[in-house]
């Protein structure tokens, strides 16, 4: 994995924590987005942990570059402050996880491990802002999803459980799960986080 942040103290602190983990291997560090892309091209790490806002394009620029060049490195983005628009764009561009820069180092490391095995990690602190961004952008539903399926997807994007979605929409939990199954099939995914990410990538909620 590689770590990129333009604040040396933060970057060095995270690097030390990673190096204490026998299940993680740090192969490089960078201070801007351009360096990240060069390192990914050269080293092909499984995971890159990148500050959302930094010189050289930041996390969003890196996400777009990885997708454009079909690079297989999974991207974990660090953010000190929630910027819903940037989060939305980065997820749509292929980012796999977000971690607050206020999170303890254990949480960051566990997120890295989860992403390395293919998971998408969206922490609770993102849900409200991300859901708000989705609602702001939502105008017309993709014809592939029914209006009810779109309602379910939007509420899932807020981090709500199936029973909570059911209460909000006055549906049984079984009916919500049935709608979710249909959404998964139409978007070609297998879980909720992937459905939200794929929905944004396809513009389903725009």
**Rounded Cα gap, residues 123 and 97, in angstroms:** 8
**What is the 8-class DSSP label of residue 22?**
T
pLDDT in tens, 8-40: 999 999 999 999 999 999 999 999 999 999 999
> Given pLDDT bands bounded at 50, 70 and 90, which one contains residue 84?
confident
Instruction: Give the per-residue pLDDT at 99.
Output: 87
**Rounded Cα gap, residues 123 and 121, in angstroms:** 6
pLDDT in tens, 150-188: 899 989 888 889 999 999 999 999 999 999 999 888 888
| pTM given for the model | 0.63
Torsion of CA 179, 120, 86, 147, to 10 degrees: 0
What is the residue-averaged pLDDT of the chain? 85
CA distances from 196 to 2, 102, 158 (A): 26, 25, 10
Domains (range + CATH), the chain = 2-125 (3.40.50.2300), 138-202 (1.10.10.10)
**What is the 8-class DSSP label of residue 1?**
-
In this predicted structure, the answer to whether residue 136 has a pLDDT above a threshold of 70 is: no
């Amino acid at each position: 994995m590689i770590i990129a942040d333009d604040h040396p103290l933060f970057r060095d602190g995270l690097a030390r924590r990673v190096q204490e983990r026998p299940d993680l291997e740090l192969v490089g560090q960078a201070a801007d987005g351009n360096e990240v892309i060069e390192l990914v091209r050269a080293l092909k790490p499984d995971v890159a942990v990148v500050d959302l806002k930094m010189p050289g394009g930041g996390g969003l620029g890196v996400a777009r570059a990885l997708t454009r060049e079909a690079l297989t490195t999974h991207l974990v983005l660090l953010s000190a402050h929630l910027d819903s628009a940037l989060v939305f764009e980065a997820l749509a561009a292929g980012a796999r996880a977000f971690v607050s820069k206020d999170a303890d180092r254990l949480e960051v490391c566990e997120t890295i491990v989860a992403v390395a095995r293919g998971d998408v990690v969206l922490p609770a602190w993102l849900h409200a802002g991300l859901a708000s961004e989705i609602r702001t952008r939502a105008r017309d539903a993709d014809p592939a999803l029914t209006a009810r399926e779109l309602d379910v997807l939007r509420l899932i994007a807020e981090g709500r459980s199936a029973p909570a979605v059911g209460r909000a929409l006055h549906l049984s939990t079984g009916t919500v799960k049935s709608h979710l199954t249909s959404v998964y099939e139409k978007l070609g995914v297998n879980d909720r986080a992937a459905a939200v990410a794929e929905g944004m990538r396809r513009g389903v909620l725009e």
